[in-house]
Amino acid sequence: MRPRLEILFPHSRVSGLKRLRDKEWQSLVERVAALPETHPDALAFSYMMIKLCNCLSCDLGSYKASLGCSVCSQRTINAIRASDKMLLKQFEKARDEVLAYLNRIGAGEEMAA
């Protein structure tokens, strides 16, 4: 029997990414880790990591899944050769997408009421 495995990057693993890069990244990780997991910035960070780590193709029987989200996400961030600035831009893009989605579903609820 396996311990509980997560398939999508969980908010609880954000803080483990802090010391992997320079100050800009560390600042972002520290700020996001302190937020509740339902905060739009926390959702955006997880969404960004899901895309970077390719979580949607993770399979419970795969080697990648057996490593767990902490190791997989740390390996992914370490393997990225882009600058912190580029990673922050990816976060901003993910945040824009999350906010647009939240606005759409919020508008849909208002229309249904």
Phi, psi (degrees; rounded to nearest 5) at 78:
-65, -30
Rounded mean pLDDT of 41-45? 96
Tally of helices (H runs) and strands (E runs) in the chain:
5, 0
DSSP letter string over 61-94?
TSHHHHH-HHHHHHHHHHH--S-HHHHHHHHHHH
Mean pLDDT across the chain: 88
Contact 17, 32 (CB under 8 A): no
Alpha-carbon span 16 to 19, nearest angstrom: 8
Tens digits of residue pLDDT in 54-98: 988 888 788 888 888 899 999 999 999 999 999 999 999 999 999
Sign of the dihedral defined by the CA atoms of residues 100, 28, 16, 19, in that order: positive
Token pair for residue 7? 């398939």
Contact 94, 44 (CB under 8 A): yes
Tens digits of residue pLDDT in 90-99: 999 999 999 9
Alpha-carbon span 32 to 10, nearest angstrom: 12
